[in-house]
Amino acid sequence: MTHTFVFLGIWYFFTIISNESHIPSGLLVPGMITGAAIGSIYNEIRIGTFGWDSNPDSSAPIFLGAAAFVASYTPMTYSLAVLVMETTNSFTILIPVLIAMQVSQSLSRLIVDYSIYDRGLRLKNIPLLRQQIPISS
C-alpha cells in the first residue's frame, strides 16, 4: 500500500505543477489516474483491514474513485459516466458510477460554487454569458 501512496503523491504533485504552469496538458487523464489511485487505496484498506471482498469485481472501487474524483472538479456528468462504462466494458457499473459522481459533485459544490474550467476563465478575464437575460428599457 505504501507504493500506492507514493504513486498518488508523486502523480498529484506533477498534475498540480503542470496545471499551474499554463502548459496545455489536460485535466481528464491526470484526474482519472489520481482518482484511480485513491480508489485503489480504498480497495486495499477495504480488503486488508476489514476483509470485505464479497464483491466479485474488486476493481469497481478503482473505477468509482476515478469517476468521482474527476466529477468533483469538472461539470462532466453523463459523458464521464459513459467513458468509465466503456472503459470497463460493463453496463452494471453505470448506476454506482452515477451515484458516486453525484455525491462527489454535490460535496464539491458545497465548498466551491464553480468548476476548475470556470476558474480558469475567470483568471484569464474571459467574459462569460450571464445567467439571466438583462432587461433593457
pLDDT digits (tens, 9 = 90+) for 35-91: 999 998 988 888 878 776 666 567 888 889 999 999 988 887 788 888 888 888 888
Q: How far apart are CA 1 and CA 48, in angstroms?
A: 10
pTM: 0.78
The domain tally of the chain equals 1
Residue 131 is assigned to a structural domain of this protein: no
Residue 105 is assigned to a structural domain of this protein: yes
Residue bearing cell 472501487: 61
Residue 103 has pLDDT above 90, yes or no: yes
Please name the amino acid found at residue 74: T
Reading phi first (left if > 0) and then psi (alpha if -120 to 50, else beta), residue 26 is in left
**Among 7-11, 74-78, 126-130, which is the least confidently predicted range?**
126-130
| Residues 85, 76 contacting (CB under 8 angstroms) | no
Residue 130 is assigned to a structural domain of this protein: no
Q: How far apart are CA 41 and CA 54, in angstroms?
A: 17
Residue 15 is assigned to a structural domain of this protein: yes
* Residue 70 grid cell: 474527476
Residue 130 has pLDDT above 70, yes or no: no
Q: How far apart are CA 63 and CA 105, in angstroms?
A: 16
Q: How far apart are CA 66 and CA 68, in angstroms?
A: 6
Residue 129 is assigned to a structural domain of this protein: no
Residue 48 is assigned to a structural domain of this protein: yes
Residue 31 is assigned to a structural domain of this protein: yes
Please name the amino acid found at residue 35: G
E-assigned strands of 22-130? Answer: none
Please name the amino acid found at residue 22: H
Range of the domain at 108: 2-123
Residue 23 is assigned to a structural domain of this protein: yes
